[in-house]
Amino acid sequence: MKPASFRYVRPNSVAEVCEVLAAEPDARIIAGGQTLTPMLAMRLARPSVLVDIHRIGELIGISRVDGAVVIRSATRQVDALHSAIIDEDLPLLAKALPWVGHPPTRTRGTVGGSIANADPSAEIGLVAVTLDAEIVLADGEDEEVVLAEDFFIGPMLTVASPSACLTEVRFPRRPDGRLGVGFQEISSRKSDFAFASAAAQLVLDADGACSELRVGVGGVGDVPLKLDAEALCGTRLADAEIRDFAVAAMADVETVGDLHASEAYRRRAGAALIAKAIIEARQGALNTGSSGGRNVG
């Protein structure tokens, strides 16, 4: 038994969770525990109380609401991976989910937990930033909605106050038209933390020109980043244009270096993966034909 001592509570509702969090400044929420359990063991996390939310019914489920796909925070990654709603309306997330951990960790790991954990190399956070997802926090009686880009402020650090409970993530539904998505990642071994990752979602118009493009890069810096892809909109996305864009985009990014990958490596790998993700998305869109339709392969 390696963690520092804590109390364990299992509230039945979000309101009860908020009560505990308000009363106990050093409380910590546990849902899937796939990151928190080892952090407790290494004593990187030393909560006074562990608040287990994994069975709270109101925090589980995936639904369509207006133009968004709403994923409640304690929804398991494995359930997201096999959700028809995500398959149809959120193809970029469908593409990214197989990269999250490996099957046994996806059985327990949750969508909201991955976001709240704010690992800069995490796939779900990268998709959230790329698509401008909204993150919903319950804090006492209040509800706060934060844009994904503003939510992450550093490695394992978010704007959420210690008294807040992440309740859901609202991803904008895929745009209509000839849509393609791409997700690319590199790590030292399969299912390990990414040194760099990239996500792309784009729409081609009837002439094959790009009418909408979203690109994000993860694992290279302190937080997942959304890139300004305006320069490629209106073009036909030639390989050379894409590569120039990717290199230029990474030139402005502050990368981090560690034992596994230097700053320069992350800059190069980031650019290569951005280009690959956009090319993958472009091919996907070209394969859908002009009428649109789904593309998750």
Q: Residue 237: helix, strand or coil by DSSP?
A: coil
- Is 136:167 a contact under the CB 8 Å cutoff? yes
Our finding on whether 51 is near other proteins (CB under 8 A) is no
CA distance 166 to 115: 9
C-beta of 189 vs 207, nearer to other proteins: 189
Give the Cα separation of 195 and 188 in Å (integer): 8
DSSP string, 136-170: EEEETTEEEEEEHHHHEEETTEES--TT-EEEEEE
Give how far the C-alpha of residue 113 lies from the chain's centroid of Cα atoms, to the nearest Å. 10
Piece in contact with other proteins (CB under 8 A), picked from 3-11, 126-134, 173-181, 281-289: 3-11
For position 6 contacting other proteins by CB under 8 A, the verdict is yes
Q: Does 297 bind other proteins (CB under 8 A)?
A: yes
| Shortest Å, Cβ 82 to other proteins | 6
Residues from 126 through 185 that contact other proteins (CB under 8 A) = none
The two tokens of residue 179 are 């849509």
Q: Please report, as residue ranges, which positions from 188 to 207 form the binding site for other proteins (by CB under 8 A).
A: 190-191
Q: In which residue are the tokens 């704010």 written?
A: 118
Q: What is the maximal distance between C-alpha atoms in the chain?
A: 63
Is residue 296 close enough to count as binding other proteins by CB under 8 A? yes
293 contributes a contact to other proteins by CB under 8 A: no
Subset of residues 56 to 115 that bind other proteins, contact rule: CB under 8 A: 78, 81-82, 98-99, 101-105, 107-108
Q: How many CA atoms lie within 13 Å of 55's alpha carbon, on the beta-carbon side?
A: 5
Considering only 16, 37, 149, 209, the residue that binds other proteins (CB under 8 A) is 37
Instruction: For other proteins, give the closer residue by CB, 107 or 211.
Output: 107
Determine the length of the chain. 297
Q: Which is nearer to other proteins, 49 or 247 (CB)?
A: 49
5 or 291: CB nearest other proteins: 5
Residue 62 beta carbon to other proteins: minimum distance, rounded to whole angstroms: 17
Q: Which is nearer to other proteins, 41 or 157 (CB)?
A: 41
Q: Which is nearer to other proteins, 79 or 149 (CB)?
A: 79
The answer to whether residue 46 forms part of the interface with other proteins (CB under 8 A) is no
Taking the least distance from each CB to other proteins, the nearer of 44 and 248 is 44
Q: Are 243 and 275 in contact (CB under 8 A)?
A: yes
Q: Which residues pair with 142 in a beta bridge?
A: 139
Distances (CA, A) of 270 to 90, 153, 243: 23, 20, 11
* Contact status: 259 vs other proteins (CB under 8 A): no
Q: Which of residues 15-34 bind other proteins (CB under 8 A)?
A: 30, 33-34
Burial zone of 85 (CB within 10 Å; 0-12 exposed, 13-18 middle, 19+ buried) = middle
Query: In whole angstroms, how close is the CB of 156 to other proteins at the nearest point?
Result: 16
Nearer to other proteins, 190 or 252 (CB): 190
Residue among 274, 266, 280, 213 nearest 248 (CA): 274
Tokens representing 144?
């706060």
Q: Contact residues for other proteins (CB under 8 A)?
A: 1-3, 5-8, 30, 33-34, 37-38, 40-42, 50, 52, 54, 78, 81-82, 98-99, 101-105, 107-108, 190-191, 296-297
